Structure 1
Amino acid sequence: MKFKYVVPAALLIFINIYAYAQGKLVDYHNAEALNGLMQKKTYYTPENIQWLAELQKFFYSRRTPQGLEFLVVDTKEQHKSPAFDREKFAAALSEVSKDKISATDLPITRLLMSSNGKELHFTYQRASWICELNTYTCKQNIDVPQHTDSGRTKSPDQKWIGYIKKFNLYISPAADQTKEYQLSTDGSEGNSYSPYMAWSPDSKKIAAYKVNTAKQRLTYLIESSPADQLQPKLRQRAYPKPGDTLDQYIPCLFLVDTKKQIPVNNSAINEQFSLTEPVWRNDSRAFTYEYNKRGHQKYMVMEVNTSGETRALIHEQSNTFFNYSRKKYRYDLADGKEIIWASERDGWNQLYLFDGNGKLKNQITKGNWVVRRVIKVNEKERNIIFEGSGMEKGQDPYFIQYYQINLDGTGLKKLTWENGNHSATFNEDYSIFIDVYSRIDEPATTVLRAVKTGKVIKELEKADISALLKTGWRFPESFSAKGRDGETAIWGMIIRPRNFDPAKKYPVIEYIYAGPHDSFVPKNFAADNILGLHELAELGFIVVQCDGMGTSNRSKKFHDVCWQNLKDGGFPDRIAFIKAAAKQYPYIDASRVGIFGSSAGGQSSMGALLFHPEFYKVAVSSSGCHDNRMDKLWWNEQWMGYPVGPQYAESSNVEHAANLQGKLLLILGELDENVDPSSTMQVVNKLIKANKNFDFLLVPGMGHSLGGDYGEHKRRDFFVKHLLGVEPPEWNWIPNITVPKS
């Protein structure tokens, strides 16, 4: 989306003659021009919202027709005022950076205002800076590395130091480190004690792990064209894959006074995927850790007392998977007398309250909707503020709203309810908050609200997109259709080009990412996203995106479709979504459908041609995880299961490559450290052996990516040629083409 053209005047006649059909040079120009036209034309939408505790005010930045502004909000007086003098700030940064900086368009990011409003921390030119706002003195912030004392850990009372020596755990008096006491004797190479030990608050006990270290798998990359030498470089890194052996952790307990090890019952934690670090109770009576069994179907919160007895406080069991990486939530109240726990045991992600012995007291939240995130647990008032989605009837079920509820499950109160996706920033006592809400088809409204009632205290901002609309930019359409079961709503969006003509027929391009760890269709208002979907539509396409079954943030049943079945990719729902759109809008041509994606989306986009060639005709696959046995262990075992079985081969693009139909472009970066590049190369190998016709682009020096600027150009050309049936403009005979404005 950054490739540029400069058109000689002699070629303008040529361009005008051929500008009437889609996919021509003028359409490429329009697509690229749109990127610049959309920039900085959405006004009065707050960013970098923060509560400044010492000032008792909110801070945020906003873009206006006059440039960037920075404000503080006095919540008592309900008044906004400038946070600092932009002119002085720009002058100070210009002086120290030696760059000419505009006060109305400060090129700074990652703003963080100090709680007293006297310092602004920010990023400029990829460096960290601080500006003292009293004197307007700016300086680069040079982070000083924090060195640890070789893994030596002091006890809370500062009297002892714990450390690892010759694979075993030792302690020494802090006052005389020439003395040492060996607490363990069974450590050895490959079976050593971890230096990350946990001292009890009373300094009388240590919880530690002995680690049986697994042999690491190494993967290799060849950097063909390094910048600093002619010859290629070989890179290697540890990269465990599904089925590989993992480190196993043995919880151990030591008494400082007697210098003895207490045997711990670890019989319940075999075949680990992981253990969390041990955490002591405040009164030192016990420590807890969380056990995730390999395969992610059993997850337990374990407690070990000072006698070495172990019990499970929380026992989560699933026939498919427990989503530990995104939905796990635990909060211990009153030093473990109660536990708040998130679970999908009733089919929806909800909160539960257990007593200190692990007995269920009550379900806190309940319904056919999901808790997305806990914001605040108020132990004194015994209530919770949380984000939820799907509770509000008639709204997109992915929209985040804010609620408060008592720990006994009573008193559910709405803090927000307007039809949009909400984002809240609270003050320190959680009595008020700034709420920014929008939709893809409705720009942001920003209000100050009271937690006690949820009512709006004051409207702070109303976004203005009039300048954006003058570019011809069109709103995306939020669209829903019934999925494969004829009942479940599948939600997504439809994007049309600026010169959209309902009398024409438009082929469809779907952007896909179906990773089960989240949902992916944008919900907030934005002119465009990093994928450039609006720009792609400018070439003469209808562009769609939807979240099919198998993705997250809906019911457990909706999510479980992905289980041991990543090749599904939600395709039956996606096809139904596009067909429903085509039925409602006759200008959508569902006989010409293309698809593209990267990473897991790269796997899915190629899978569309392998498993659904009757519907998808063209695919561009970037950085694809084409065989889940070749990709990172944690992500793939979470969804495909353990041990590695025939389900992995059933979802493999490599195994099914010979079934390819349609037009395929594979894009790969040779230095992909996220997905092993060999995954794509094995697909290429199978396609060649099957004598299949396909296109392949290998980008030297590129990592995990959609393809960079060059790959983006090739992707657009591929869709123009094979979906529009138009030969793309020839690059080589038009040097650096940019069409002048008329």
Structure 2
Amino acid sequence: MRFFLTLYLGLMLSAAAEHGFAERINGTLRKDYVKQSAAIRNLNLKPYWAEDGSSFIYRKEIKGGQRYIIVDAKTGEQKEAFDHKIMEEFFASQDKKMELHHMVFGEGYFEFRIKGDRETYQWDGEQVIKVDSPRKKQQEEQERMHRGPVSPDGKWRVDFREHNVVLVELEKGEKILTSDGKPDHYYAQVKWAPDSSRFAVMKVKAGQRRMVTVVESSPKDQLQPKVHSWRYDKPGDVIDTRAPWVFYVDGRDPLAPDLSLIENPFSLGKVWWRSDSKRLSYDYVERGYGKYYVLEADTEARSHRIAVREESDTYIFVGGNSYRYDVNDGEEYIWASERDGWNHLYLIDGKTGAVKNQITKGEWVVFDVERVDEDNRRILFIAGGMEKGKDPYYRKYYWINFDGTGLVELTPGDGTHELFLSPDDQVYLDKYSRYDMAPVYELRNLKSGSLIKEILRVDLEELKATGWQAPIAFTAKDRDGKFDVWGYVLLPKDFEPKKKYPVIENIYAGPHDQHVYKPFTVWRGAITDLAHRGFIMVRIDGKGTGKRCKEFSHFCYKNIVDAGFPDRIKWMKEAAKKYPQMDLERVGIYGGSAGGQNSTGALLFHGDFYKVAVSDCGCHDNRMDKIWWNEQWMDWPIGPHYAEQSNVTNASKLKGRLLLTVGEMDRNVDPASTYQLASALLKAGKEYELIVVPSADHGAGEQLYPRCRRVQFFEKWLGAPAPMSN
């Protein structure tokens, strides 16, 4: 049995035989990064709109400098926004670099700040003037007027004293409204009705309130170690629960919640008062995420009801796929649901809870809602998969009416899109790109989607001249031959078709999203690092990841351990038929957080295919990680499947070479999760390496030393490119 422990102290490297290897690795990669990044410009154009929407300014990068361009929103005509020589001379005289950070238009001027400067300036057409920001004054006034727990009419205040509710009439006196508050069952949070006649508070029943405690071995401010603790609920814990009570300023008995409607709460959403000050609305999410309701209390009739009901035999991805918008003060709801197998929008009757009509429909997915136009009863939404044969993860924007008619596509460009809407809702700047296509910026009409003018198209020729290669999109069927699985192959720098290359997968199989980054980018972090060191890189969205139909995504339910591995392995085998340079006898894998769990799982459960893994800050046992993420997919109460799928309990199955990294101050994933895996591997007599990064938080594996050790680890155990055999 062999076990290796490497301690990383800041950016100080060991003086052992490996001295200097990180500088050598990082130095080479840094040169490539700088060279390629300098070969392309205008990847992140951002419009600064005039307040009336009539024009916008953007920063245009040019060789050796920059120009600020003003664009007429009606015609798309462009010209320089000001005299750059005067502007540059002004800031040079103050020893400042002219790079605008914040910009607001006014009548005949624009107001701006530069990066790293708190001062505000104006260009009045002839010169730069230092001014007081009207927006800063407005913000200060808003902060001064913030009432906190004081009623909207300014007559009442709610205090919490010894865990109870005290109502204070500001000009007369106070009245204690409750006497049952305790340290573990207390009142908190105030939400006043608009007319100040009543208010809601939450009665909180405290749970066990687990604390995670760690020792920081090497604090910067003292010699001796420090002990740190923080609140960290884990799956299966007894958690805090809340229930809304309503109190009346006229002395009526308080209205208690109907606990039968919220029997097993994981969370209760923000309380909303209706404009009539009688009805109170809030969200209820059942523990285990099988139910998501909108609840409404009629505080005048003293009744409670479920206004909207969503239930699932697996889970409801609250905060991800879910969406709620109250139309006309709750007369209707726009509601997202996977009830037909795809995430779509529905129009719900606010009085009965019945579906009035399905707004969007088809074998594609609504990702999000950008805007609801109540006056015209239409919705601006983002979706993927509507165009058959195209990448279903491309973000595309559409208008649709509340009744499901009038679908208008706003983003016809072949790629994934981001919109910048004008303040007057007349036009928008559409940015779109792909792996192999740098951003295109188009000015379009928001009502029809029609093109006004192309503003800028980024050229790739100078970048390609450096040897840069784009990832190559690749698609294969899943394990059952039913669904398309999408991903990409990134060939090494200086790729030679007559050589065989080791293959490394960068994995993140978290169910909350898809994880293959679609927009254009020059450098894909560690993926590009490793490609430039002679590996063929792949990244794949297998079954169990998000942004697809329910059958595809909910495959993860009580099944995190699967991580889509059969789909990933089949995908790589299909890709190797097209790219025979992929050596599938030498496959590595790495990832962080949930990807750290996945990458270790590759060696535990699929060690015949994957040979080497590097896992950073992994949640190796779902019972050890944060409650909200893990109970969402693995359900509650805790069943035997939690232990059955744990990397820790399966440590004896390890095959291949494993490097673990972890930050000792990780607040996202309890670092004990990695230590417990290390302990189990020791007991099982398995060989592995461990890097503990003192004082580091989540993602410690991306610091210089462990990042370079990752490269070295793969080079050592997967080897270098080799000639293809005849």
Q: TM-score, normalised by structure 2?
A: 0.91
Which of 147, 168, 171 aligns to 1:172? It is: 168
State the SS of the aligned residue for 1:184. coil
Aligned to 1:159: 155
Q: Which moved more, 1:48-57 or 1:391-400?
A: 48-57
Counterparts of 1:244 and 1:685, CA distance in 2: 24
Retained in 1: the 8 A contact 2:590–2:599?
Answer: yes
State the SS of the aligned residue for 2:313. coil
Retained in 2: the 8 A contact 1:120–1:130?
Answer: yes
Structure 1 residues 569 and 457, CA, compared in 2 at 3 Å: closer, same or farther?
same
Retained in 2: the 8 A contact 1:92–1:137?
Answer: no
Q: Does 1:53 align with 2:48?
A: no
Counterparts of 1:167 and 1:3, CA distance in 2: 48
Give a deviation string over 1:11-70, Cα, whole Å, max 9, x none.
xxxxxxxxxxxx999987653421111223322444233433246322333322243333
Q: Does 1:238 align with 2:231?
A: yes
Q: How does 1:642-657 map to 2 (within 5 A)?
A: 642-657=636-651
Give a deviation string over 1:487-519, Cα, whole Å, max 9, x none.
211111111122100110011011011111111
Q: Does 1:700 align with 2:698?
A: no
Deviation at 1:118, TM superposition (A): 3.0
Aligned to 2:209: 216
Counterparts of 1:723 and 1:275, CA distance in 2: 50
Q: How does 1:624-639 map to 2 (within 5 A)?
A: 624-639=618-633
Aligned to 1:40: 38
Aligned to 2:76: 78
Retained in 2: the 8 A contact 1:45–1:62?
Answer: no
Structure 1 residues 264 and 696, CA, compared in 2 at 3 Å: closer, same or farther?
closer
Counterparts of 1:615 and 1:586, CA distance in 2: 17
Counterparts of 2:251 and 2:89, CA distance in 1: 65
Partner AA of 1:51 in structure 2? W
Aligned to 1:201: 194
Retained in 2: the 8 A contact 1:272–1:294?
Answer: yes
Which of 407, 412, 431 aligns to 2:426? It is: 431
Which of 663, 666, 672 aligns to 2:666? It is: 672
Retained in 1: the 8 A contact 2:157–2:167?
Answer: yes
Aligned to 1:336: 330
Retained in 2: the 8 A contact 1:699–1:707?
Answer: no
Partner AA of 1:82 in structure 2? E
Structure 1 residues 122 and 707, CA, compared in 2 at 3 Å: closer, same or farther?
same
Which of 246, 263, 269 aligns to 2:262? It is: 269
Counterparts of 2:285 and 2:572, CA distance in 1: 39
Counterparts of 2:704 and 2:220, CA distance in 1: 19
Counterparts of 1:255 and 1:613, CA distance in 2: 65
Give a deviation string over 1:148-199, Cα, whole Å, max 9, x none.
99995121122222221222222222334xx0122333222221111x2111
Partner AA of 2:58 in structure 1? Y
Deviation at 1:386, TM superposition (A): 0.7
Structure 1 residues 412 and 144, CA, compared in 2 at 3 Å: closer, same or farther?
closer
Deviation at 1:290, TM superposition (A): 0.2
Give a deviation string over 1:372-424, Cα, whole Å, max 9, x none.
11111111111111111100122101001111111011111211222110111
Retained in 2: the 8 A contact 1:27–1:538?
Answer: no
Structure 1 residues 696 and 46, CA, compared in 2 at 3 Å: closer, same or farther?
closer
Counterparts of 2:227 and 2:519, CA distance in 1: 43
Partner AA of 1:198 in structure 2? K
State the SS of the aligned residue for 1:189. coil
State the SS of the aligned residue for 2:682. helix
Q: Does 1:112 align with 2:94?
A: no
Partner AA of 1:291 in structure 2? Y
In structure 2, stretches of 5+ residues that fail to align are: 1-9, 14-20, 722-726
Retained in 2: the 8 A contact 1:52–1:113?
Answer: no
Counterparts of 1:673 and 1:145, CA distance in 2: 36
State the SS of the aligned residue for 1:505. strand
Identity %: 41
Deviation at 1:650, TM superposition (A): 1.7
Partner AA of 2:504 in structure 1? I
Aligned to 2:713: 718
Aligned to 1:612: 606
Counterparts of 1:544 and 1:456, CA distance in 2: 36
Aligned to 2:521: 526
Structure 1 residues 273 and 130, CA, compared in 2 at 3 Å: closer, same or farther?
farther
Deviation at 1:624, TM superposition (A): 0.9
Give a deviation string over 1:99-124, Cα, whole Å, max 9, x none.
6x3x5xx4x7xx33224363324543
Retained in 1: the 8 A contact 2:204–2:240?
Answer: yes
Deviation at 1:145, TM superposition (A): 13
Which of 503, 506, 520 aligns to 2:498? It is: 503
Q: Which moved more, 1:66-75 or 1:355-364?
A: 66-75
Counterparts of 1:291 and 1:95, CA distance in 2: 59
Counterparts of 1:198 and 1:546, CA distance in 2: 46
Aligned to 2:441: 446
Deviation at 1:708, TM superposition (A): 0.6
Partner AA of 1:209 in structure 2? M
Counterparts of 2:501 and 2:329, CA distance in 1: 61
Retained in 1: the 8 A contact 2:308–2:350?
Answer: no
Partner AA of 1:74 in structure 2? D
Partner AA of 1:112 in structure 2? H
Q: Which moved more, 1:500-509 or 1:228-237?
A: 228-237
Deviation at 1:700, TM superposition (A): 1.5
Aligned to 2:65: 67
Q: Does 1:390 align with 2:385?
A: yes
Give the RMSD, CA atoms, in angstroms: 2.8
Q: Which moved more, 1:212-221 or 1:400-409?
A: 212-221
Aligned to 2:356: 361
In structure 1, stretches of 5+ residues that fail to align are: 6-22, 727-742
Which of 434, 458, 461 aligns to 1:463? It is: 458
Q: How does 1:180-329 map to 2 (within 5 A)?
A: 180-194=174-188, 196-306=189-299, 307-329=301-323
Q: Which moved more, 1:247-256 or 1:506-515?
A: 247-256
Q: Which moved more, 1:426-435 or 1:543-552?
A: 426-435
State the SS of the aligned residue for 1:550. coil
State the SS of the aligned residue for 2:229. strand
Counterparts of 1:129 and 1:220, CA distance in 2: 43
Structure 1 residues 139 and 673, CA, compared in 2 at 3 Å: closer, same or farther?
farther
Counterparts of 2:675 and 2:557, CA distance in 1: 26
Counterparts of 1:212 and 1:304, CA distance in 2: 21
Retained in 2: the 8 A contact 1:253–1:261?
Answer: yes
Give a deviation string over 1:205-231, Cα, whole Å, max 9, x none.
111111112232111121111122211
Q: Which moved more, 1:180-189 or 1:466-475?
A: 180-189
Structure 1 residues 186 and 649, CA, compared in 2 at 3 Å: closer, same or farther?
same
Retained in 2: the 8 A contact 1:444–1:463?
Answer: yes
Deviation at 1:128, TM superposition (A): 5.7
Structure 1 residues 684 and 283, CA, compared in 2 at 3 Å: closer, same or farther?
same
Partner AA of 1:399 in structure 2? Y
Counterparts of 1:411 and 1:3, CA distance in 2: 58
Partner AA of 2:216 in structure 1? E
Aligned to 1:31: 29
Counterparts of 1:699 and 1:25, CA distance in 2: 18
Retained in 2: the 8 A contact 1:207–1:253?
Answer: yes
Which of 599, 610, 621 aligns to 2:615? It is: 621
Retained in 1: the 8 A contact 2:75–2:452?
Answer: no
Retained in 1: the 8 A contact 2:625–2:669?
Answer: yes
Retained in 2: the 8 A contact 1:46–1:60?
Answer: no
State the SS of the aligned residue for 2:254. strand
Counterparts of 1:87 and 1:703, CA distance in 2: 45
Counterparts of 2:558 and 2:131, CA distance in 1: 54
Structure 1 residues 204 and 348, CA, compared in 2 at 3 Å: closer, same or farther?
same
Aligned length: 695
Counterparts of 2:77 and 2:429, CA distance in 1: 14
